[in-house]
Amino acid sequence: MKFKEEMEVFSDDKVIASVREGNVRNFEILIERYKTKIINFVFRMILDYDEAQNISQEVFLKIFKNIKNYKENDNFQSFIYTIAKNMTLNYIKKQKRVVLFSSFSREKEEEKYTGISGTQVYEIEKIEKDKLVTEALRLLNENQRLVLIMKVYLGFSYKKIRDITGWTIPKIETLISRAKQSLKKNVIMQERGDKVVK
Amino acid sequence: MECKDIIPVLSKYQDAELDKELSENVKKHLKECKACREEFRLLEKTLFFIKEQPEVEAADNFTAITMGLLHNENKKRFFPLPAFIYSFVFVLFFFLGIFINFSPENTEVRNKAIDSVSELLLNSQELSFLNVRNSSFFDLLGVEYEKRMD
């Protein structure tokens, strides 16, 4: 136990090395370090809190399985976000197929979304604002959402996004710019709404 | 620079991804041009709008559940070979039981047959611990044979 406490101050690479040596319990340190980041990334991609928990767990499982492929001194962040990106895009692809056969899914998603309040206590106002952003993000396609999340919430540079997604920088530029343009419409509508209220 | 050159690069400017010279030019233009400034203000407000979304927290038992999944995954490795290999070995023994009934007296034929089978089995290292020649499996077959002879 003392050893684990000592590990907590070590770099990712050192913790990973110890996990590879067979100290599987030390993987817990990596989960604690990255769980909030991964869950937020997955949640913003799929916009479903409960599913985001499940997918994030699978993301960590996959990181564990693939930890031998991680090369020391590589960027561990890029490594985990590449896995998270692949899993969320696969999930969205599968969901799209399901939606083709089920017209209820949209209603269901909304039900699930309000379910957040059951799991976590938000103030009503916050939920409303949250919902506005969520609905706006829902209007983007998954690729636009992906680059926007990486740029805005994670603060990644275009180069880093290129390394994770494998897309070219001009493609990333276009996706981000289009995403902003679609969201801008929401902002304009909101401004007009505000003026009417006043 | 004119407005038509500015608008397409505004998003990149906002993300601080333009090179220094171009970035300075855009900055200068924004100071002078009201229309472009309004466009940029809207972009800034857009980012502010989505940044407002609060972070979600992981469920309390998230780490525990994930570690549980991970340990299950580790346990699975107790059977390191694909399932069909185990079933193949089982079926092999099953058919051996049906087709090979050796007389315990006829040791020469018995050993020959066992050698050929054990060679086949021992080729896969995982089964080396079985030591087929001494296994009671064949002795049991012999006992069965003797009983029938009675």
Considering only CB atoms, A151 lies closest to which of B15, B54, B57, namely: B15
Eight-class DSSP state of A26: G
The answer to whether B57 contacts chain A (CB < 8 Å) is yes
Mean pLDDT of chain A: 82
Pick among A31, A33, A126 to test the B interface (most B CBs inside 10 A): A31
B45 touches chain A (CB under 8 A): yes
Residue, of A54 and A128, whose pLDDT is higher:
A54
Calpha distance A8→A29 (Å, rounded)? 6
Quote the CA–CA distance of A126 and B110 in Å, as a whole number.
82
Tens digit of each residue's pLDDT (9 = 90 or more) over B99-144: 666 555 666 776 777 777 777 766 655 555 555 555 555 555 555 5
CB contact at 8 A, A186 and B49: yes
CA distance B68 to chain A (A): 10
Residue type at position A116:
I
Question: A188 vs B42: CB contact, 8 Å cut-off?
Answer: yes
pTM confidence score? 0.69
Q: Is A168 on the interface with B (CB under 8 A)?
A: no
ipTM: 0.74
Each residue's pLDDT tens digit, B27-54: 999 999 999 999 999 999 999 888 888 8
